[in-house]
Amino acid sequence: MSGPVGVGLIGSQFVSTIHARSLSHCADARMLAVASPTPGNADRLAREFTIGDSYLDYRQIIDRDDIDMVVIGIPNHLHCQVTCEAAAAGKHIVLEKPMCLTLDEADQMIAACNKHGVKLMYAEELCFTPKYVRMKQLLDEGALGQPTLLKQLEKHDGPHSAHFWDVDRSGGGVAMDMGCHAIQFFRWMLNNAPIKSVYAQMDLQVHTDKTQGDDNALIILEFEGGVTALAEESWSKLGGMDDRAEIYGSKGVAHADLLRGNAIHTYSLPGYGYAVEKAGSTQGWSFTIYEEEWNYGFHQEMAHFVDCVKNDKVPLVTGHDGRAVLEVLFAAYESAASGRKVLLPFTPSKGDKPIDPWLRARKGNA
């Protein structure tokens, strides 16, 4: 492709704003249109980022010949339909995590993109986070020896959008929303080594008035070769986002604090406008982040996906990775429901969303 990549945004809220801001830093991308079914939302985003056209119907984006790639940032239960329609229209696709609600949907999405010769790129920004990229370089070059234990945690006080609280639309709670980050982080760090088993503990402890889903989760993965990985996820942590990783090896250890390690330690009596995602209050001591999306890896992620479309490269993270993560999530909810380790490969019950066995177990124990 000789010119810039024409991009359409499907979605207009929190994550689509991050997508737009990241794409605005990419010289090879041109944002041409944005769509949202909620009146005024697409118009607002278009004004903020000088995007030419805004629509209520995403089909007006995928019908355009000048749009090469769509970036999907919409509720999870809509991912499959929109992805398959965009693929049929010949658009390359960047899909926000998690992939979808069932493995059957994931297979349909992968098949549709293969059939129509388009790329399905799975937007897991931790694979592009500069600090974590450097961490992986240390592991790959042998600085830490053979890995033995990996940890990754992400914690805050709950999601931005209402649909995440609704398990019928989201497919799960915090394990689905944030555990997907850790699972792909571990797979990437270990060069997609096969996962042998999954064990999980989950509970709904704080947000009982908002959701049926889990708001705290621990997920333990056992990889072939003996490496263990622990994901800690929470929607009940106050004081702003916490995102950290640890790698333990036979010859070394590496710890990375994604946000507080890159922040300005600030004390303010009156408070100020913004510290970090989900900070709540900025009075007293706080960690003031800068270049937040860059530190998360969103700029690098979008630049990579645009480069893959423009120069026909293989994406670092694809729909196959998204499906692998989803299978682990199914196994994690099954483990939390049964209280036992679940072996992979795992086939969930037909028609189940990831959270369904856990909800059935909670209802039976009530």
Do both 167 and 116 map to the same domain? no
| Partners of residue 198 on adjacent β-strands | 221, 342
**How far apart are alpha carbons 292 and 18 in whole angstroms?**
10
346 domain-assigned? no
Residue 340's pLDDT is what?
98
Whole-number CA gyration radius for the chain: 20
Do both 24 and 52 map to the same domain? yes
Do both 77 and 194 map to the same domain? no
Do both 103 and 208 map to the same domain? no
Q: In this structure, what CATH number is given to the domain that contains residue 42?
A: 3.40.50.720
Do both 18 and 121 map to the same domain? yes
| Residue in the block written with tokens 């830093």 | 25
Do both 76 and 133 map to the same domain? no
109 domain-assigned? yes
- SS3 for 207? coil
The token pair that represents 148 in the structure block: 């033995």
15 domain-assigned? yes
Do both 77 and 178 map to the same domain? no
| Residue in the block written with tokens 């986070």 | 129
334 domain-assigned? no
The token pair that represents 116 in the structure block: 């129509």
Residue 366's pLDDT is what?
67
**How far apart are alpha carbons 18 and 298 in whole angstroms?**
7
Do both 76 and 158 map to the same domain? no
Strand ranges of the sheet holding 120-123, from the earlier edge strand across to the other edge: 53-55, 29-35, 5-10, 69-72, 92-96, 120-123
**How far apart are alpha carbons 278 and 329 in whole angstroms?**
25
* DSSP annotation of 318: B
Number of H helices, E strands in the chain: 13, 15
The token pair that represents 149 in the structure block: 């234990």
Do both 109 and 226 map to the same domain? no
Do both 272 and 151 map to the same domain? yes
Do both 138 and 69 map to the same domain? no
**What is the pTM assigned to this prediction?**
0.97
Instruction: Write down which residue in 264, 295, 326 finishes a domain.
Output: 295
- SS3 for 363? helix
**How far apart are alpha carbons 186 and 94 in whole angstroms?**
21
Instruction: Write down which residue in 238, 264, 295 finishes a domain.
Output: 295
342 domain-assigned? no
| Residue in the block written with tokens 């792909």 | 184
Instruction: Write down which residue in 295, 327, 360 finishes a domain.
Output: 295
Do both 77 and 216 map to the same domain? no
- SS3 for 268? strand
64 domain-assigned? yes
| Residue in the block written with tokens 């920004």 | 125
347 domain-assigned? no
- Domain range holding 30? 5-125+298-317
204 domain-assigned? yes
Q: In this structure, what CATH number is given to the domain that contains residue 192?
A: 3.30.360.10
Backbone angles phi, psi at 343, to 5 degrees: -85, 150
Count the domains in the chain. 2
From first to last of the 366 residues of the chain, give the pLDDT tens digit: 899 999 999 999 999 999 999 999 999 999 999 999 999 999 999 999 999 999 999 999 999 999 999 999 999 999 999 999 999 999 999 999 999 999 999 999 999 999 999 999 999 999 999 999 999 999 999 999 999 999 999 999 999 889 999 999 999 999 999 999 999 999 999 999 999 999 999 999 999 999 999 999 999 999 999 999 999 999 999 989 999 999 999 999 999 999 888 899 999 999 999 999 989 899 999 999 999 999 999 999 999 999 999 999 999 999 999 999 999 999 999 999 999 999 999 999 999 999 999 999 999 986
